[in-house]
Amino acid sequence: MQDVRKALYVGSRSDGTLVQRPMSPHLQIYRRRLSMILSISNRITGVIATGGAALGIFWLNAAAKGEKSYTTASKVARNPLSRLVLFGWIVSVVYHTVGGIRHLIWDSGHRFDKEEVNKDGEVAVRVTVGVSVVLTALLCLVGRRRAKKRG
Amino acid sequence: MNAYEPHVDVMRSHLGRVRGLGVGHSGAEHWWGERASSVVLLPLSTWFVVQMFRLGGASRADVIKWGGKPINATLLIALIITTFYHARLGLQVIVDDYVHGHAYLPMRLLIKLGTFLLGLLGVISVVKLVIAHDSTK
Amino acid sequence: MVELRLPHNSTIGVGKTVLAPEGAKNVRTFRIYRWSPDDDRNPVMDSYEVDVDVIGPMVLDAIIHIKNEIDSTLTFRRSCREGICGSCAMNIDGENTLACLKPIKSIEGDIKIYPLPHMPVVKDLVTNLDGAYAQLRSIQPWMKADTAPPPDKERLQSQKERSKLDGLWECILCFCCTTSCPSYWWNGDRYLGPSVLLAAYRWIADSRDEHTGERLDGLEDTFKLYACRTIMNCTQTCPKGLNPAKAIGHIKELQLARKL
């Protein structure tokens, strides 16, 4: 701990000698409410979304560079591992968007009550799952149709 | 390993410690930037999802035809810039929370640089697609 | 890098167990965090079996019973026993609350009691709150008005103006909210925390105060105010049912309104 709170951790024994005080447990013991999990997940999915966006830029770069680079990029994108990554990225972006809308609602001054927060949290999870499933299904469908056309 | 010997280093008053160096007089711009960019990203990312269906598995010729249209190029560049601006603000906040001490400033600079370069690469790629499109005409 | 794990001297071991006396009918186990500066060891969890039929309904009744009848070295803060002084704030069953308002019946299984999270432990369930008190003082929680008050009556305030203070004046400064906030855990030296920000908003929202601009100036800082990430642990845990997250939201709105 390099902050000024470090000084509060020095106490003294009954005989006056100094002793280092322990820190009370936090993450280790605090109840994991849905709101807390959703909040940290918003941060995690934001980082994943950024990573995916970076990969997207590389794909765009490959398309702009030339035919050979684009063919390589397309081959990599068709790899089952890449599809898994794409799926994970889609779910992250959907979740982060839903969570983001929740934050925007709070920032505009609404839905702050404890009951409302908890209810909205459950709705957010359901919407995320629903939209992710629909999007992925559509993408698979379109992808399969295009692959058939390619022959 | 040396046993840590507790000793009193700080005798400044609690109020003095808490007041610290005073206020930085900033924060509202960053906070507003996060919100404004996320609002702009809502319609832009919806548009992008629709376009992703068009572009998935497409040939390079198709991509150039699509990217060469001014409206697509404009919206794509807007999406890229807004995305990496939003990402920069978000990552900065993460560094503020978890990184303290000597690593703090370098990490902040790294994030600014990283997101800027990625955004720039994206913009230049789109411009190149537009040029490639014009040259096929 | 922020320390997500506890320092070496803070990891918790297993302490002693005290079984219920003969003939106890309704036995519940209380597992309580213990550490004394005179110990030469890390903190431990002691287990006390208590017949809850012979004591009052709240967790505070149980720990007072333990201190009186079983282990007089158990140390904790307490005073009013009715949820108004804020002394007995601690982490019970995973959430910060007042021991005097937490019914034992509302908890399933063993009742786990820890001190308020991420704070220096003075002894057992008592934490050092000097930093938090200093933060409260730093926002100047008193009336600041240049207009002289009327000589024969109080400063006037309409019912509508007074209603703005509802949900703010009732704070008992127990610091359950502040010590429930992960942002305060990682940056409590610079972030003021929900309790202090609620107190700051109480004065910003008061129509009789005339230094609103200065108060907002004093909060316009990346860490002091904007380290709030709207995690919402504060509102979830407040034992008085207050909403610090909402108050902080109002402050942010006002900061923006000044700039746009």
Give yes or no for B9 touching A (CB within 8 A).
Answer: yes
Both C154 and C79 in a single domain? no
Question: Are A38 and A121 contacting, i.e. CB atoms less than 8 angstroms apart?
Answer: yes
Helices (H) and strands (E) in chain B, counts: 5, 0
Model's pTM, two decimal places? 0.94
Give yes or no for A107 touching C (CB within 8 A).
Answer: yes
DSSP β-ladder status, C44-51 and C89-92: unpaired
**How far, in Å, CA of A95 to CA of A45, rounded?**
7
pLDDT at position A151 is 58
**Nearest of C199, C237, C239 to residue C219 by alpha carbon:** C199
Sign of torsion over alpha carbons A40, A43, A48, A49: positive
Average pLDDT over chain C, rounded to an integer: 96
Number of neighbours of residue C194 by Cβ within 10 angstroms: 32
Does a structural domain hold residue C248?
A: yes
pLDDT at C111 over 70: yes
Predicted confidence (pLDDT) per residue in A32-46, tens digit: 999 999 999 999 999
User: b vs e for C46-64, b when ≥16 Cβ sit within 10 Å of the residue's Cβ?
Assistant: bbbbbebeebeebbbbbbb
DSSP β-ladder status, C111-114 and C89-92: antiparallel
Both C150 and C122 in a single domain? no
Residue-range domains of chain A with CATH: 33-150 (1.20.1300.10)
CATH number, residue C55: 3.10.20.30
pLDDT at position B115 is 97
pLDDT at position B135 is 81
**How far, in Å, CA of B21 to CA of B41, rounded?**
36
pLDDT at C48 over 70: yes
Helix, strand, coil % in chain A, rounded to nearest 5 = 75, 5, 20
C208 to A64, B30, C143: CA distances (angstroms): 63, 31, 8
**How far, in Å, CA of C177 to CA of C241, rounded?**
11
Q: Which residues in chain A come in under a pLDDT of 70?
A: 1-2, 150-151
**How far, in Å, CA of C191 to CA of C224, rounded?**
4
Instruction: Tell which of C88, C109, C127 closes a domain.
Output: C127
Chains that touch A (3 or more CB pairs under 8 A): B, C
User: b vs e for C91-114, b when ≥16 Cβ sit within 10 Å of the residue's Cβ?
Assistant: bbbebbbbbbbbebeebeeebbbb
**How far, in Å, CA of B91 to CA of C132, rounded?**
28
**Nearest of C163, C174, C171, C169 to residue C143 by alpha carbon:** C169
Both C135 and C122 in a single domain? no
Residue C133's pLDDT band, with cuts at 50, 70 and 90, is very high
Both C138 and C249 in a single domain? yes
A66 to A102, B122, B127, B133, C66: CA distances (angstroms): 42, 15, 14, 12, 77
pLDDT at position B136 is 74
Q: What is the pLDDT along chain B (137 residues), one digit of tens a residue?
A: 345 788 888 889 999 999 999 999 999 999 999 999 999 999 999 999 888 887 777 888 888 999 889 999 999 999 999 999 999 999 999 999 999 989 999 999 999 999 999 999 999 999 999 998 888 76
**How far, in Å, CA of A123 to CA of C79, rounded?**
42
Both C122 and C138 in a single domain? no
CA distance C97 to chain A (A): 12
**How far, in Å, CA of C191 to CA of B18, rounded?**
9
| Pair of tokens at residue C72 | 């007089």
Q: Which residues in chain B are closer than 8 Å to A67, comparing Cβ atoms?
A: 60
| Pair of tokens at residue C245 | 């997250």
Instruction: Tell which of C127, C149, C166 closes a domain.
Output: C127
Residue C90's pLDDT band, with cuts at 50, 70 and 90, is very high
DSSP β-ladder status, C13-18 and C44-51: parallel
Question: Are C194 and C245 contacting, i.e. CB atoms less than 8 angstroms apart?
Answer: yes
Both C191 and C171 in a single domain? yes
Which residue of B6, B18, B94 is in closest CB contact with A18? B6
Does a structural domain hold residue C3?
A: no
Nearby residues of C183 by Cβ (< 8 Å), 6 or more positions away: B97, C191, C227, C228, C229, C231
Q: Which residues in chain C are closer than 8 Å to A18, comparing Cβ atoms?
A: none
DSSP β-ladder status, C111-114 and C27-34: parallel
Both C144 and C239 in a single domain? yes
Both C38 and C97 in a single domain? yes
Both C92 and C170 in a single domain? no
Question: Are C190 and C225 contacting, i.e. CB atoms less than 8 angstroms apart?
Answer: no
CB contact under 8 A, B14 and C252: no
CB contact under 8 A, B53 and A138: yes
Interface test with B, best of C222, C228, C250, C260 (most B CBs within 10 A): C222
Both C116 and C162 in a single domain? no
**Burial of residue C199 (number of CB atoms within 10 Å: 0-12, 13-18, 19+):** buried
Return phi, psi of residue C27, to 5°: -95, 130
CB contact under 8 A, B45 and A143: no
Both C18 and C55 in a single domain? yes
Residue-range domains of chain B with CATH: 27-136 (1.20.1300.10)
Range of the domain at C171: 130-259
Query: What is the C-alpha R_g of chain C?
Result: 21
Q: Which residues in chain B are closer than 8 Å to C214, comparing Cβ atoms?
A: none
Instruction: Tell which of C82, C97, C127 closes a domain.
Output: C127
pLDDT at position A139 is 84
Does a structural domain hold residue C156?
A: yes
Return phi, psi of residue C103, to 5°: -70, 140
Predicted confidence (pLDDT) per residue in C220-235, tens digit: 999 999 999 999 999 9
Both C83 and C148 in a single domain? no
Give yes or no for A111 touching C (CB within 8 A).
Answer: no
Does a structural domain hold residue C1?
A: no
Question: Are C107 and C170 contacting, i.e. CB atoms less than 8 angstroms apart?
Answer: no
Interface contacts A/C by beta carbons within 8 Å: 130
User: What's the number of domains chain C is made of?
Assistant: 2
CB contact under 8 A, B25 and C186: no
pLDDT at position A4 is 78
Which residue of C130, C223, C256 is in closest CB contact with B28? C256
DSSP β-ladder status, C95-98 and C89-92: antiparallel
pLDDT at position A2 is 53
pLDDT at C88 over 90: yes
CA angle A39, B108, B81 (to 5 degrees): 75
Interface test with A, best of C236, C243, C252, C254 (most A CBs within 10 A): C236
CB contact under 8 A, C222 and B96: yes
CA distance B112 to chain C (A): 17
CA dihedral B78, B80, B85, B90 (to 10 degrees): 130
CATH number, residue C239: 1.10.1060.10
Does a structural domain hold residue C42?
A: yes
